[in-house]
């Protein structure tokens, strides 16, 4: 038969274990939710860039697409003017044609966290991802979303 002191010690140990499991579970949940938020930021930002590139191409047929984010017109509620980083995700435009009008562009999105995939798009507007985080692999053979 257990003495009251042993029972109290056992109960404290059980409570401490339950608290540790709950804290660990909440931490894991928050970490997972942040990964989803970074993924959502990358996909949404690339779709916004693709839409703005199409508008720019239509409004400036002599220039075509642009490789300068500052030249694009976005929803006034979003601010791309200061720098192309949103929620820690860095966006970039590259690989426009050397001759005008530009008929191609590549847009990339990468978060510094190692467990967040690389995301990319081009003039097709298809957003792709690459779990290895290689932007080049994403652009040449990433999985469409």
Write the secondary structure of 83-102 as one string of H (helix), E (strand) and C (coil): CCEECCEEEEEECCCCCCCE
* HSE-up of residue 94 (Cα within 13 Å, Cβ side): 8
Domain that holds residue 8: 4-144
Residue 29 has pLDDT above 90, yes or no: no
Number of domains in the chain: 1
* Confidence class for position 142, pLDDT limits 50, 70, 90: very high
Could you report the per-residue pLDDT of 6-18, keeping only the tens digit for each? 767 777 777 776 7
List CB contacts of 25: < 8 A, sequence separation 6 or more.
none
Least-confidence region, from 8-12, 36-40, 53-57, 83-87: 8-12
Query: pTM here?
Result: 0.78
Residue 32 has pLDDT above 70, yes or no: no
CA nearest neighbour of 94 among 45, 32, 49: 49
Please give the structure tokens belonging to residue 55: 């508008």
Who wins on pLDDT, 109 or 35? 109
* Confidence class for position 85, pLDDT limits 50, 70, 90: confident
CA nearest neighbour of 47 among 124, 139, 131, 143: 124
Give backbone dihedrals phi and psi of 123, rounded to 5 degrees, phi first.
-65, -15
- Mean pLDDT for 33-41 is 84
């Amino acid at each position: 038969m257990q003495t009251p002191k042993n029972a109290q010690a056992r109960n404290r140990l059980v409570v401490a274990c339950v608290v540790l499991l709950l804290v660990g579970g909440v931490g894991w949940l928050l970490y997972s939710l942040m990964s989803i938020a970074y993924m959502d930021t990358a996909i949404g930002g690339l779709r916004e860039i693709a839409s703005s590139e199409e508008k720019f191409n239509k409004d400036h047929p002599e220039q075509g697409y642009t490789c300068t984010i500052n030249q694009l017109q976005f929803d006034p509620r979003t601010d791309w003017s200061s720098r192309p980083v949103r929620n820690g995700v860095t966006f970039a435009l590259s690989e426009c044609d050397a001759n005008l009008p530009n008929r191609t562009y590549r847009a990339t999105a990468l978060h510094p966290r190692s467990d967040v995939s690389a995301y990319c798009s081009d003039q097709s507007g298809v957003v792709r991802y690459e779990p290895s985080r290689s932007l080049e692999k994403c652009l040449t053979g990433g999985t469409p979303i």
